[in-house]
């Protein structure tokens, strides 16, 4: 039976319930969702799903798959475009709630992050509708590659940029003809609930796009273990990626995992040092809670001192403050537990003998801010170099030549992104070939083409999403072979 329970979040009505089979559904138990802007500010008691809600959602998605998978990609594309239009019409509202819920800067959410959610649906609506199947002749047969929708798909997302990251995965899954059960993170559950209001307004058939709220080890684990689920797509930490991979393996279900990063930010002596220093200071944006950030500064020895001065100057321009205000550039961290985790990294680095150049503590103004921090590690083996902190903590190391730079860059278990500043084109090409990373940016950062493959090497992930790579993942591909001269008409 449909039961909605709506909460007033600073003037915006948000459902604190799941969305299953086209209806709002509550749970007997709830969990507290608080605002990182003022931790005493409770935003909502959100429905805490478990095995029952997981089963219910997969059943709804399985029933809806019958009809949704039979629609033409043009018909599905119309729903995706309608949803994209509704997101565009509601950007300010979604940005405001997301800002309160996870403290990303409201202006950046409004101008960049939430509109990207609309772009995700539009891009996949178009890609799927314009897909041309590969056809060729060989061995006396005409061959055609066809896509079959795979089935109910579980999508599990993390607390940083929940709206954008969820839409990035849900759009291709839906476009490919799958039905979706989305499970956002328990630290920032609200924007995905707003998305379900828009799904309802766009009149998606019931059960095509479902949302369940709750903890990862409860409803999340139940969803990824359900044998009726035919695809799992996950973004989050490597530790959870392993657990989800085990569950997927038990049911022989393909899964993709977009995991953590520890990207190098490489600065060569021939680079525009001022531009490099300013971009390096951008790594503190969103309080460093960005998987793609280049958190290991690797600087050519001959320019290290000059770069350090420019970088420190650029860092001093940052303003820690309330994420709703446009002057703020560094937001609070998501949660007191996360603040403690980030600080523990820094304190262990100190104990280990790594040198803290600046920062290195929670900001004295209170709230959940952590000061932008720069550390010179004792060695490349230091924990703070080798492990993802996911906070405003960078390390700086130097190199003497390109070979050493590449060795350092490729020396962690991660391989999500790399950023390089150089003015030498052949060096840019050589580094592109030599660096072990899913995305390499030369003299820029975060520029994304949605048709390009996206994912990580090493413990940064399995599989690729983006463009046709995502549509392939969410489909079962088959080959049709017709003997030449045997069919007519
Ligand atoms: P997390 O792994 O703790 O949680 C991610 C999601 O998994 C949450 O929804 C959580 O509830 C769920 N979950 C936890 N245990 C589960 C289980 N046993 N079964 C099913 N679901 C489970 O990650 P987080 O702390 O929310 O996010 C931060 C991490 O995400 C960082 O490592 C960051 O680098 C990574 N990240 C990666 C990308 C990328 O594109 N590669 C993007 C954003 C964030």
- pLDDT (mean) for 64-79: 96
Query: Where are the chain's structural domains?
Result: 6-259+456-479, 263-442
Residue 160 CA to ligand 1 center (angstroms) comes to 9
Residue 232 Cβ < 6 Å to ligand 1: no
Q: Read off the DSSP letter of residue 331.
A: P
**pLDDT 10s digits, 147-193:** 999 999 999 999 999 999 999 999 999 999 999 999 999 999 999 99
- pLDDT of 92 reads 98
Q: Do 103 and 446 meet the contact criterion of CB atoms below 8 Å apart?
A: no
DSSP, collapsed to helix, strand or coil, labels residue 30 as strand
Residue 461 CA to ligand 1 center (angstroms) comes to 12
Q: Whose CA is nearest to atom 35 of ligand 1?
A: 236
Cα 321 to Cα 299: distance, rounded to the nearest angstrom: 30
**pLDDT 10s digits, 464-487:** 999 999 999 999 999 999 999 999
Q: Do 323 and 106 meet the contact criterion of CB atoms below 8 Å apart?
A: yes
Residue 31 CA to ligand 1 center (angstroms) comes to 18
Ligand 1 atom having least distance to the Cα of 260: 34
CATH number of the domain located at residue range(s) 6-259+456-479 in this protein = 3.40.605.10
Matching fold, domains 6-259+456-479 and 263-442: no
pLDDT band at 366 (very low <50, low <70, confident <90, very high): low
Is residue 170 flagged as an active site residue? Answer: no
Q: What tokens does 343 get?
A: 């600080």
**pLDDT 10s digits, 401-438:** 999 999 999 999 999 999 999 999 999 999 999 999 99
Beta carbons within 10 angstroms of residue 278's beta carbon = 16
Question: Mean pLDDT of all residues in the chain?
Answer: 96
Ligand 1 atom having least distance to the Cα of 239: 2
In sequence order, the 6+-apart residues with CB closer than 8 A to the CB of 47 are 5, 16, 17, 18, 25, 26, 27, 29, 30, 53, 213, 214
Q: Read off the DSSP letter of residue 217.
A: I
53, 98, 186, 258: the active-site residue: 258
Q: Do 56 and 44 meet the contact criterion of CB atoms below 8 Å apart?
A: no
3-state per-residue secondary structure call for 338-352:
HHHHHHHHHHHHHHH
Q: What tokens does 331 get?
A: 């937001």
Residue 160 Cβ < 6 Å to ligand 1: yes
Cα 91 to Cα 89: distance, rounded to the nearest angstrom: 6
Residue 456 Cβ < 6 Å to ligand 1: yes
Ligand 1, residues 165, 237, 286, 457: which to mutate, most atoms within 8 A of Cβ?
237
Ligand 1, residues 216, 222, 470: which to mutate, most atoms within 8 A of Cβ?
216
Alpha helices in 133-226 (DSSP H): 162-175, 190-201, 221-225
CATH number of the domain located at residue range(s) 263-442 in this protein = 3.40.309.10
pLDDT band at 100 (very low <50, low <70, confident <90, very high): very high
- pLDDT of 9 reads 96
Please report which helix (H) or strand (E) contains residue 232, including its range: strand 231-235
Alpha helices in 109-156 (DSSP H): 114-129
Ligand 1 atom having least distance to the Cα of 240: 2
Ligand 1 atom having least distance to the Cα of 456: 41
**pLDDT 10s digits, 246-264:** 999 999 999 999 999 999 9
- Among 278, 300, 263, 312, smallest CA distance to 424 is for 300
Cα 161 to Cα 64: distance, rounded to the nearest angstrom: 28
Residue 261 Cβ < 6 Å to ligand 1: yes
What distance lies between CA 144 and its chain's CA centroid?
A: 34
Please determine, for residue 1, whether its predicted confidence score (pLDDT) is greater than 90.
Answer: no
Q: Do 94 and 87 meet the contact criterion of CB atoms below 8 Å apart?
A: yes
Q: Whose CA is nearest to atom 37 of ligand 1?
A: 259
Alpha helices in 267-353 (DSSP H): 273-281, 304-316, 336-352
Q: What tokens does 312 get?
A: 């420190």
Residue 442 Cβ < 6 Å to ligand 1: no
Helix, strand and coil content of the chain, in percent to the nearest 5, comes to 40, 25, 35
Beta carbons within 10 angstroms of residue 449's beta carbon = 9
Is residue 258 flagged as an active site residue? Answer: yes
Please determine, for residue 85, whether its predicted confidence score (pLDDT) is greater than 70.
Answer: yes
Residue 231 Cβ < 6 Å to ligand 1: no
- pLDDT of 3 reads 86
Residue 414 Cβ < 6 Å to ligand 1: no
Ligand 1, residues 170, 193, 240: which to mutate, most atoms within 8 A of Cβ?
240
- pLDDT (mean) for 104-125: 97
Please determine, for residue 344, whether its predicted confidence score (pLDDT) is greater than 90.
Answer: yes
Q: What tokens does 20 get?
A: 């299953």
Q: Read off the DSSP letter of residue 237.
A: -
- pLDDT (mean) for 392-407: 98
Ligand 1 atom having least distance to the Cα of 461: 41
Cα 407 to Cα 133: distance, rounded to the nearest angstrom: 41
**pLDDT 10s digits, 24-62:** 999 999 999 999 999 999 999 999 999 999 999 999 999
- pLDDT of 62 reads 98
Residue 38 CA to ligand 1 center (angstroms) comes to 23
pLDDT band at 132 (very low <50, low <70, confident <90, very high): confident
Task: Using the CB atoms, write b or e for 57-85: b if 16+ within 10 Å.
Answer: bbbbbbbbbeebbebebeebbebbbbbbe
Residue 300 Cβ < 6 Å to ligand 1: no
Cα 120 to Cα 123: distance, rounded to the nearest angstrom: 5
Q: Do 212 and 183 meet the contact criterion of CB atoms below 8 Å apart?
A: yes
Q: Whose CA is nearest to atom 23 of ligand 1?
A: 236
- Percent of the chain with pLDDT strictly greater than 90: 96
Ligand 1 atom having least distance to the Cα of 261: 34
291, 300, 371, 388: the active-site residue: 291
């Amino acid at each position: 039976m449909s039961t909605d329970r709506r909460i007033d979040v600073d003037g915006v009505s948000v459902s604190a319930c799941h969305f299953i089979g086209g209806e709002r559904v509550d749970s007997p138990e709830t969990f507290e969702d608080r605002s990182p802007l003022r931790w005493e500010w409770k935003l909502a008691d959100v429905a805490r799903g478990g095995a029952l809600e997981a089963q219910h959602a997969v059943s709804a998605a399985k029933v809806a798959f019958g009809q949704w998978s039979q629609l033409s990609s043009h018909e599905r594309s119309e729903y995706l475009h309608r949803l994209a239009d509704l997101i565009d019409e509601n950007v300010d509202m979604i940005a405001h709630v997301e800002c309160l819920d996870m403290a990303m800067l409201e202006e950046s959410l409004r101008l960049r992050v939430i509109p990207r959610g609309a772009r995700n649906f539009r891009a996949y609506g178009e890609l799927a509708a314009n897909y041309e199947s590969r056809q060729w002749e060989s061995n006396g047969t005409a061959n055609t590659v066809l896509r079959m929708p795979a089935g109910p798909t579980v999508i599990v997302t993390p607390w940083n940029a929940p709206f954008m990251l969820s839409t990035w995965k849900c759009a291709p899954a839906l476009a490919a003809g799958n039905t979706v059960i989305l499970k956002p993170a328990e630290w920032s559950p609200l924007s995905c609930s707003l998305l379900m209001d828009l799904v309802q307004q766009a009149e998606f058939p019931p059960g095509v796009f479902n949302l369940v709220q709750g903890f990862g080890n409860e409803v999340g684990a139940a969803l990824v273990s359900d044998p009726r689920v035919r695809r799992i797509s996950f973004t989050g930490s490597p530790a959870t990626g392993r657990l989800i991979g085990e569950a997927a393996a038990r049911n022989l279900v393909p899964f993709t995992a977009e995991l953590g990063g520890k990207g190098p930010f490489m600065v060569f002596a021939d680079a525009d040092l001022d531009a490099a220093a300013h971009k390096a200071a951008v790594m503190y944006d969103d309080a460093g809670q960005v998987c793609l950030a280049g958190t290991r500064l690797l600087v050519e020895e001959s320019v290290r001192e000059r770069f350090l001065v420019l970088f420190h100057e650029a860092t001093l321009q940052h303003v820690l403050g309330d994420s709703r205000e446009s002057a703020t550039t560094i937001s609070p961290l998501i949660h007191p537990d996360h603040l403690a985790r980030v600080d523990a990294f820094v304190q262990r680095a100190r104990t280990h003998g790594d040198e803290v150049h600046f920062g290195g503590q929670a900001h004295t103004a209170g709230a959940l801010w952590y000061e932008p921090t720069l550390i010179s590690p004792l060695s490349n083996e230091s924990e703070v170099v080798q492990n993802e902190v996911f906070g405003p903590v960078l390390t700086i190391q130097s190199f003497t030549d390109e070979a050493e730079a590449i060795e350092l860059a490729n020396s962690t278990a991660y391989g999500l992104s790399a950023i390089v500043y150089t003015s030498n084109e052949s060096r840019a090409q050589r580094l592109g070939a030599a660096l072990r990373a899913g995305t390499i940016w030369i003299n820029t950062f975060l520029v994304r083409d949605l048709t390009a493959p996206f994912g990580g090497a090493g413990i940064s992930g399995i599989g690729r999403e983006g463009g046709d790579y995502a549509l392939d993942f969410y489909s079962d591909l088959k080959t049709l072979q017709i003997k030449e001269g045997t069919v007519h008409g």
